[in-house]
Chain A
Amino acid sequence: QVQLVESGGAMVQPGRSLRLSCAASGFTFRNYAIHWVRQAPGKGLEWVALVSHTGTGKYYADSVKGRFTISRDNSRNNVDLQMNSLKTEDTGLYYCAKDWTRFGVVAPDTWGQGTQVIVSS
């Protein structure tokens, strides 16, 4: 079955960096775009970033543009989210999710369990 497992969450100080990873299995990874979505404590879901199935298309929410970088390795079925210049408002539970459709972008469909990021001094 489709499985996505996030890792790398931690508590870090503002201004520091963190790298999240998403390991995928159970589907043809190279055919699907992958999203990162987060949820801050007491807040709603926020779309963060997307990498296309080939890895050439990379898209970001305005709130993270210029600070976060998404990448994928189709040989290892893995997606990373490099987060730099972290702010307290980046605190939250970060999910990776597979897109619903092959070779395109529609919306997150199957989700991992999430990894917790806490940005605090």
Chain B
Amino acid sequence: DQQVKQNSPSLSVQEGRISILNCDYTNSMFDYFLWYKKYPAEGPTFLISISSIKDKNEDGRFTVFLNKSAKHLSLHIVPSQPGDSAVYFCAASYTGNQFYFGTGTSLTVIP
């Protein structure tokens, strides 16, 4: 049973606009959430994370928002750039030992 879900398989955004990627989870025990970026034929690279004690974490153009009551997190990229085109995975953890990944959202930033 998928505990972390990304319901949008793909997203297209104009360069300079905001990209919003969404993720939902079912396990209320999760206390740490991460976003990864993956280019074709490469391994995922860590992008940004958030602890469950926070509702927002920002790193440059990337901001992650966490809504615990809705069991929902989102990644905002502002402004979007063509180099941001990749597959984005959200992940969650509650033991520090195992990570549960979503199915990914393919972002295309159109120049």
> Is the A/B pair a real complex?
no
Residues on A facing B (Cβ under 8 Å): none
